[in-house]
Amino acid sequence: MKKILVIHGPNLNLLGLRPKEHYGTMTLAEINRQMQIHAAPSWELEFFQSNSEGEIVTKIQQSLSADAIIINPAAYTHTSVAIRDALEIFPKTKIEVHLSNVDQREDFRRINYIRDVCDVCFSGKLAESYLDAIEYLKKN
Ligand code: DQA
C-alpha cells in the first residue's frame, strides 16, 4: 500500500473558526475524513498538523521513504525557506494545497517559497483542493 504524508500547517487545526469566506466551514477532522474516503483502499494517509515550523521540517525529514507528500504549509508558504529546503530533499511527488486562492488575495500571500519545489498546486476550492490532490496522485 502506498503511503502519503498529509501536512497541515499553522492555524489549520482551527478550521471552522477561521474566516469562512476564505476557508469554508469544514473542520480539519472532516477534511481528513473526506481525504481518507477518496484515498481508500489503495493509499494509506498519515495526517500531521503543527503550528511550528521546526516540527514540520523534522516531520518531512523523518518521512523521506513516503510515496508522496500533500502539504498545506498555511502561513509558512509565504515565509519559510526551511520548509522549502526540506521539501526539496523529498524525492517523490510533492503537492501544494490551499483552501483559498492565495494568488488572488493580499500581496504578501503571493510570495511563495514552496511552489517551485512542488510538482503541482491545487488551491481556491476549499476542501476540494485536497481531494484534487488525491485524484492527481491516483492518475500520476
Ligand atoms: C492557506 C492560505 C494562507 O495564506 C494562510 O496563511 C492559511 C491558509 C489556505 O489554505 O488557503 O493559513 O494556506
Return d(Cα 139, Cα 62) in angstroms, integer. Answer: 26
The answer to whether the CB of 112 falls within 8 A of the CB of 72 is: no
User: Which domains can be identified in the chain, with CATH numbers?
Assistant: 2-139 (3.40.50.9100)
- Using a 6 Å cutoff on CB, does residue 38 contact ligand 1? no
- Using a 6 Å cutoff on CB, does residue 109 contact ligand 1? yes
pLDDT tens by residue, 22-69: 999 999 999 999 999 999 998 999 999 999 999 999 999 999 999 999
pTM over 0.85: yes
Q: Please, which residues bridge with residue 2 across strands?
A: 43
pLDDT, position 42: 85
Ligand 1 centroid vs 78 CA: distance in angstroms? 9
- Using a 6 Å cutoff on CB, does residue 69 contact ligand 1? no
